[in-house]
Amino acid sequence: MQNYKKISQYTLWVLLGVGILVSLLFYAGGSQGSLEVAGDFLDIPKFTDLMLNWNYILFGLACVCTLGFVCWEFVKTLKTDPKKAIRQLVVVIAFVVLVLICWALGSPEKVNIIGYEGTDNVGTMARLSDACIYLSYILLCGTILAVVFGWCYTWMLNRKK
């Protein structure tokens, strides 16, 4: 077990170091030129593609780790308490359905970004961006509702005592 802790610590430090390095390159790495927009000159950072690719890698790692832990927990719970495992599976399926709904709401049309000439703002990537934004809104609203209803529920329980 101690080896797993060391591996996860080293992995965390490596990811943090690479993230800091990429951020420094993006923010302090200079510009590849400037663009005039409404009379103002905007610098275009040199390492924008590197920053975007690093964020894609981190997003993919987060998804893989999350799904891996969910599957591992499901199998572990299925052995000890099958009824609880089925409830967990229903929650995961509901989340997958929510992600698919957000994906369907997303638009594959080109997003006009000033000074950007790449292909990451059209098609699947544009739809993924929209889906992530919609999912973030829904999860934020769900979190706020859970906090409010949890507070009300606790207040009602304490009031009865």
| Residue-level pLDDT, tens digit, the chain, 161 residues | 567 778 888 888 999 999 999 999 988 887 777 777 777 777 788 888 889 899 989 989 998 988 898 888 889 999 999 999 999 889 889 999 999 999 999 888 887 777 677 777 788 888 988 898 999 999 999 999 999 999 999 999 888 76
pLDDT of 138 = 95
Bridge partners for 43 per DSSP: 34
Which residue is associated with the tokens 């961006």?
A: 129
Contacts for 128 with CB less than 8 Å, ≥ 6 apart: 103, 106
Nearest to 131 by CA among 157, 108, 159: 108
Rounded CA-CA distance 63/68 in Å is: 8
Rounded CA-CA distance 53/91 in Å is: 31
Rounded CA-CA distance 139/29 in Å is: 35
Taking CA atoms, 112 is separated from 96, 109, 123, in Å, by 29, 9, 13
pLDDT of 140 = 96
The model scores a pTM over 0.75: no
Output helix, strand, coil percentages for the chain, rounded to the nearest 5.
75, 10, 15
